Structure formats: structure tokens, C-alpha cells
């Protein structure tokens, strides 16, 4: 792509030298090719954005200016389910960042469209880290007690990255539950 741009630029310069172009034509073409060159440089700069921790082989591509939001309803022992809304805000290095987790306890309710009504919500915030074990990538969420509500989970929470759009909650030994229940959050 850069080679084609250089050929076009060289052609334009030769055309300007050997043909009589008006000053306005030269200025228009110079501005056009300058803009095209800047766009090409921007693309080249962005293509390196997914290196060394930015894009993982499992499809987790980190964009530092875009939060990733995962949601899902997970099973619970003392209510009909817990709606998890997890927002990940990656740092520039792509290996860690800040998170916000909203856990909303639900009660079955046929009167509402979703089939559930909210009982109580807890918000926790803290740091997360992308970790690798073997060929798997995990997220470890560690709560910051100063930025979290009482009642939210105190111990670290772990998720295995399944695909670029799904993560599954694991235990502290990084094992997915074998109960057959759904512990997956989706983008």
C-alpha cells in the first residue's frame, strides 16, 4: 500500500514538472496526496496497536479508548439469578486496567418483559489483570474496597476468555464449574 502511494506521488511530481499546471491544480493535488499520506500513516500506526498484549491469540483485542462490557445472568443459591454487568477499561499496555462490576440479584417475575425483577444491586470497582496459564487467557478482578459497596464480592473473581465475545467465570483454581449451569458473560 505504501509502495502504491509513493508511485502515485512520484507520478504527480513528474506531471507537475513536465506539464504546465495552474497553481490551484498543484495545491489541490498536494493537499489531496498529503491527506492520503496522513491516512496511510495513521493506518500503519494503528496496525501495531494489537502487538505485545494488545491482541491475544484467543481474540481479545484491546482498544485503550473503548470499554468492553460483558453481561449475563448467572445462577445463585439464594435468589433466581444474578445479572452481572462487567465493564473492562484496559490500560494502554493491554495487560491490565480498571473494572466495574454491577451484580444485580433477581427474582422471577412474569409481569416484566425480561422475566425478572431486581431485588438489590451491588457495585464493585477495582483492578483487573490479564493472565495466561498454558494456552488459556484469564482475567483476574481484584476489588478496591474504597471504591466498592459493602455486600459486593470481597475475594478476587476469575474469568477464562472463551472467545473474543464471551468469558466464563471460574473458581480460584481457574476451573470452570462442572455443574452444567451457565456461568458465561457475553459482549
The answer, yes or no, to whether residue 145 has pLDDT greater than 50, is yes
Q: Name the percent of the chain lying above pLDDT 70.
A: 57
- pLDDT confidence of residue 4: 56
Of the two residues 48 and 80, the one the predictor is more confident about is 80
Domain assignment of residue 177, yes or no: yes
Domain assignment of residue 57, yes or no: no
Distance, in Å, from the CA atom of 14 to the CA atom of 24, rounded to the nearest integer, reads 17
Query: Counting every residue, how long is the chain?
Result: 187
Average pLDDT (47-67) is 49
Cβ neighbors of 168 (< 8 A, separation 6 or more) are 159, 160, 162, 176, 183, 184, 185
Q: How many domains does the chain have?
A: 2
Domain assignment of residue 168, yes or no: yes
> 83, 71 in Cβ contact below 8 A?
yes
Q: Residue 93 gets which letter from DSSP?
A: T
The answer, yes or no, to whether residue 21 has pLDDT greater than 50, is yes
Least confident of 48-52, 118-122, 157-161: 48-52
Residues 91 and 174 in one domain: yes
Distance, in Å, from the CA atom of 105 to the CA atom of 121, rounded to the nearest integer, reads 6
Average pLDDT (67-83) is 91
Average pLDDT (21-34) is 60
The answer, yes or no, to whether residue 90 has pLDDT greater than 80, is yes
Distance, in Å, from the CA atom of 111 to the CA atom of 157, rounded to the nearest integer, reads 33
Distance, in Å, from the CA atom of 74 to the CA atom of 81, rounded to the nearest integer, reads 6
Distance, in Å, from the CA atom of 172 to the CA atom of 159, rounded to the nearest integer, reads 10
What residue numbers bound the domain in which 76 lies? 68-186
Domain assignment of residue 176, yes or no: yes
Amino acid at each position: 500500500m505504501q509502495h502504491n502511494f509513493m508511485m502515485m506521488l512520484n507520478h504527480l511530481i513528474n506531471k507537475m514538472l513536465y506539464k504546465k499546471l495552474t497553481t490551484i491544480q498543484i495545491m489541490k493535488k498536494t493537499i489531496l496526496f498529503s491527506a492520503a499520506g496522513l491516512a496511510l500513516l495513521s493506518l500503519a500506526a494503528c496496525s501495531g496497536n494489537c502487538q505485545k498484549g494488545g491482541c491475544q491469540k484467543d481474540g481479545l483485542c484491546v482498544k485503550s479508548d473503548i470499554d468492553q462490557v460483558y453481561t449475563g445472568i448467572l445462577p445463585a443459591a439464594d435468589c433466581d439469578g444474578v445479572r452481572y454487568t462487567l465493564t473492562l477499561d484496559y490500560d494502554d499496555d493491554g495487560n491490565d486496567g480498571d473494572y466495574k462490576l454491577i451484580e444485580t440479584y433477581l427474582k422471577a417475575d412474569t409481569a416484566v418483559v425480561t422475566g425478572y425483577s431486581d431485588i438489590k444491586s451491588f457495585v464493585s470497582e477495582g483492578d483487573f489483570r490479564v493472565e495466561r496459564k498454558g494456552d488459556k487467557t484469564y482475567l483476574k478482578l481484584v476489588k478496591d474496597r474504597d471504591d466498592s459497596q459493602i455486600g459486593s464480592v470481597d475475594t478476587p473473581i476469575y474469568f477464562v476468555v472463551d472467545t473474543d465475545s464471551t468469558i466464563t467465570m471460574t473458581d480460584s483454581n481457574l476451573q470452570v464449574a462442572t455443574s452444567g449451569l451457565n456461568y458465561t458473560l457475553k459482549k
